């Protein structure tokens, strides 16, 4: 992996594993930022990733001492709010590069940036944002997100957590599970039911920003996961936790809409994570083929291996074009629900195929070497077909948008 990254930094874009098409989508600033990211990853991430992963060690020191000073924990937020001041495409590229080296770091950054900060920045009151966004974007503290509940996974509308009005605040009770970063986070953005709609009888779901030190907030049950073992996934329990009415994001009853919009953006970052893991696998496959098989001396004798690598590279290239394209839609403030679902769905399925096929190519080495990046990527990538909506949910979102657009005459 280090040798491959070193070559990627020094080679021109058209000679990189991504291919020359990146020059069409990336301007000079983005290309320079990608080179910066790769140099950082090679210097600071690659040397520690495997040790941290095996020890299940959360990289607090890396985040605060190395990444925060570079602005990597607030990439898409304006400088006046403590961020790096870059666009969402740059942020997606960062998640891709971090994940290429270490999936746990990719998910930590994605959950903090999109889910931990995004709802607050986009829907919080001015006073709440001023108090918290700069600290989060500068990496002084990190954020987490609570949507999933024991009985409400893919069906986010089945939320049971409640928020009862109490004077000038709300009393929160409920449980949120699979909360990335929760143990180490200073805050959680979450949903809770604030009543029933009089006409439909459906729950009126609202969104809240909840500081970790709020009395009644407890973080428990660190999950023992298949992969991404350097990241933290825990349960957040709320027992009569009181927050101010000013901690509500948006207006009462808008929480479901707010979180669905947040997930549109989160799907871009999970798609980027999948891309990084897929590229990690391809890197390993290319190195194995070049160094171990003497491929350039016997191309026809190794057609099966060549075809496998060609399929993987083509899939990744198509997924990258889709993902970068939807990031540009987001940057242009254009609707991107369907496109984000498509990109996340395709990239995560591509990554599943890529890691599986490369492990088959590596054979024994892929199955027993603990320091094999492709093996780690294989374990990590399953999250990408689940987080921010499973692949099955993405299909529902895509088909719903297709039919909705058809009804409006936009697909005719």
**pLDDT confidence of residue 297:** 56
Mean pLDDT of 234-255: 96
Domain boundaries 257-407, CATH class: mainly alpha
Mean pLDDT of 129-139: 98
The segment(s) of the chain belonging to CATH 1.20.140.10 are: 257-407
Residues 6+ away with beta carbon under 8 Å from 376: 50, 53, 102, 103, 227
Is residue 14 over pLDDT 60?
Answer: no
Is residue 398 over pLDDT 80?
Answer: yes
- Higher pLDDT: 1 or 262? It is 262
Is residue 15 over pLDDT 60?
Answer: no
Is residue 366 over pLDDT 50?
Answer: yes
**pLDDT confidence of residue 7:** 59
Q: Which CATH fold topology does 2-137 show?
A: Butyryl-Coa Dehydrogenase, subunit A; domain 1 (1.10.540)
Mean pLDDT of 213-225: 94
- Higher pLDDT: 196 or 79? It is 79
pLDDT (tens digit, 9 = 90+) per residue, 316-363? 999 999 999 999 999 999 999 999 999 999 999 999 999 999 999 888
Say which range, 127-136, 149-158, 258-267, 275-284, has the weakest mean pLDDT: 149-158
| Phi, psi (degrees; rounded to nearest 5) at 390 | -65, 170
Mean pLDDT of 57-83: 98
The segment(s) of the chain belonging to CATH 1.10.540.10 are: 2-137
* Mean pLDDT over the full length of the chain: 90
Mean pLDDT of 274-294: 87
pLDDT (tens digit, 9 = 90+) per residue, 162-175? 999 999 999 999 99
d(CA 161, CA 368): 43
Q: Which CATH architecture has domain 143-253?
A: Beta Barrel (2.40)
18, 149, 349, 388: the catalytic one is 388
Is residue 44 annotated as a catalytic residue, yes or no?
Answer: no
- Higher pLDDT: 172 or 20? It is 172
Among left, alpha and beta (phi > 0; psi -120 to 50; other), residue 98 is alpha
Is residue 269 over pLDDT 60?
Answer: yes
Is residue 235 over pLDDT 80?
Answer: yes
Q: Is 126 exposed, middle or buried (0-12, 13-18, 19+ CB in 10 A)?
A: exposed
Mean pLDDT of 366-382: 84
162-166 and 217-220: which strand pairing? unpaired
| Three-state SS annotation for 122-139 | HHCCHHHHHHHHHHHHCC
User: Which residues in 326-387 belong to E strands, given as ranges?
Assistant: none
The segment(s) of the chain belonging to CATH 2.40.110.10 are: 143-253
**pLDDT confidence of residue 364:** 74
Cα dihedral 151, 172, 216, 238 in deg (nearest 10):
10
Nearest C-alpha neighbor of 309 from the set 292, 326, 322, 325? 292
**pLDDT confidence of residue 13:** 45
């Amino acid at each position: 992996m280090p040798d491959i990254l070193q070559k990627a930094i020094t080679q021109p874009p058209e000679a990189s594993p991504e291919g020359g098409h990146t020059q069409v989508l990336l301007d000079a600033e983005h290309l320079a930022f990608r080179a910066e990211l790769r140099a950082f990853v090679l210097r600071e991430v690659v040397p520690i990733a495997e040790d941290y992963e095996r020890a299940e060690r959360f990289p607090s020191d890396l985040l605060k001492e190395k990444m925060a000073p570079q602005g990597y924990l607030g990439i898409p937020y304006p400088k006046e709010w403590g961020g790096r001041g870059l666009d969402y495409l740059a942020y997606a590229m960062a998640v891709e590069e971090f994940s290429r080296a270490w999936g746990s770091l990719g998910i930590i950054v994605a959950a903090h940036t999109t889910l931990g900060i995004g709802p607050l920045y986009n829907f919080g009151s001015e006073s709440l944002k001023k108090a918290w966004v700069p600290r989060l974007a500068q990496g002084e503290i990190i954020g987490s997100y609570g949507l999933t509940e024991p009985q409400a996974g893919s069906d986010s509308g089945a939320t049971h957590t409640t928020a009862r009005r109490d004077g000038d605040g709300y009393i929160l009770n409920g449980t949120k599970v699979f909360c990335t970063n929760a143990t180490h986070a200073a805050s959680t953005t979450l949903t809770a039911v604030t009543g029933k709609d009089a006409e439909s009888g459906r729950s009126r779901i609202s969104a809240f920003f909840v500081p970790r030190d709020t009395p009644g907030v407890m973080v428990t049950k660190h999950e023992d996961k298949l992969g991404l073992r350097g990241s933290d996934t825990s349960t957040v329990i709320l027992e009569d936790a009181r927050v101010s009415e000013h901690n509500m994001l948006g207006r009462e009853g808008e929480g479901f809409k707010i979180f669905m919009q947040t997930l549109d953006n989160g799907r871009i970052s999970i798609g980027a994570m999948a891309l990084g893991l897929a590229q990690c696998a391809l890197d390993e496959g290319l190195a194995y083929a070049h160094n171990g098989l003497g491929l350039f001396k016997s191309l026809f004798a190794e057609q099966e291996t060549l075809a496998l690598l060609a399929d993987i590279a083509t899939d990744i290239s198509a997924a990258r074009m889709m993902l970068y394209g939807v990031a540009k839609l987001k940057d242009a403030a254009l609707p991107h629900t369907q496109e984000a679902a498509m990109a996340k769905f395709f990239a995560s399925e591509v990554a599943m195929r890529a890691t599986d096929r490369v492990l088959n190519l590596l054979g024994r080495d892929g199955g027993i070497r603990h320091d094999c990046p492709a093996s780690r990527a294989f374990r990590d990538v399953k999250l990408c077909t689940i987080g921010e909506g499973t692949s099955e949910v993405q299909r529902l979102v895509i088909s719903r948008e297709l039919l909705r657009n058809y009804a409006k005459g936009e697909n005719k």
